[in-house]
Amino acid sequence: MQNLEPSDAHRLRAAQGWAELGLRAEAEAELDSLAPATQRHPEVLGLRWTLRAQDGRWDAALEVARELLRGTPEHELSWLHHAYALRRARDGGVAQAAEALKPAAEKFPAEPVIPFNLACYACQLGKLDEAREWFHRAVEIGGKKKIKFMALADEDLKSLWPEIAEL
């Protein structure tokens, strides 16, 4: 990952601060003031994705996620952002998000959020056996207590809540 020039690092921190305060327009303006070479930096793209997602601008978030995935396919968050936005984008959907995220399950076998999200997608698609498999994989990786807590708070897994509650 490239290092940022001090002035760009300062602007990025300022943008993060604006975002934390809920001032997304100010955060976007700060990001826009970064040097052109810095615009593709993973931290910049990650913040841009977050801002677009918070605004529900899923098509724009998907564009940023695609750029992030092209630039940093070695980061699991790139894959997660891509699938999350793809699910919600106008021309996307749950099935597309699931297919986009599946390669990440092999690429990042120690990341529990990937199989957890795949369980959510499978459940939403009515593929309950597949959802159970992904869910149990997430439990194996992330621990029963943590994953169970996440699952019982996630409406996507509602069809499996009775089973999950008994874990």
The enclosing domain of 74 has a CATH number of 1.25.40
Same domain, 76 and 124: no
Q: Are residues 79 and 117 in the same domain?
A: no
Helix axes 24-32, 42-54, angle to 10 degrees: 150
Domain count, the chain: 2
Res 30: pLDDT: 95
Q: What is the pLDDT of residue 2?
A: 62
Residue 103 lies in a domain: no
Specify the DSSP class assigned to residue 4.
P
- Give the span between the Cα atoms of 167 and 164, in whole angstroms: 5
87: Cβ–Cβ under 8 A, 6 or more apart, which residues?
93, 94, 96, 97, 121
* Residues 82 and 162 both lie in one domain: no
Element of type H or E holding 39: none
Whether 20 and 78 share a structural domain: yes
Question: Does residue 147 lie in a domain region?
Answer: yes
In a domain, 152, yes or no: yes
* Residues 42-76: tens digit of each pLDDT: 999 999 999 999 999 999 999 999 999 999 999 99
Residues 86 and 159 in one domain: no
Q: Based on the domain organization, do 73 and 29 belong to the same domain? A: yes
Confidence check: pLDDT of 1 > 70: no
Among 5-9, 93-97, 99-103, 132-136, which is the least confidently predicted range? 5-9
Residues 26 and 84 in one domain: yes
- Nearest CA-CA partner of 143 in 124, 116, 117: 116
The answer to whether residue 163 is domain-embedded is yes
Q: Which residue, of 63, 92, 121, is where some domain finishes?
A: 92
- Which of 59, 92, 125 delimits the end of a domain? 92
Query: Which residue is associated with the tokens 């943008």?
Result: 15
| 35: DSSP letter | -
CA distance 118 to 18: 32
Per residue in 71-123, pLDDT (tens digit) is: 999 999 999 999 999 999 999 999 999 999 999 999 999 999 999 999 999 99
- Is 102 among the domain residues? no
Q: Are the beta carbons of 67 and 44 closer than 8 angstroms?
A: no
CA dist 84 and 98 (Å) reads: 9
Task: Tell whether 100 is covered by a domain.
Answer: no
114 and 82, same domain (yes or no): no
Based on the fold, state whether residues 29 and 68 are members of the same structural domain. yes
State how far the Cα of 122 lies from the Cα of 120, in Å rounded to an integer. 6
User: In this predicted model, which residue has the larger pLDDT, 83 or 6?
Assistant: 83
Whether 120 is covered by a domain: the verdict is yes
> What domain range is 46 assigned to?
1-92
CB 88 within 8 A of CB 107: no
Is residue 78 located within the same domain as residue 117?
Answer: no
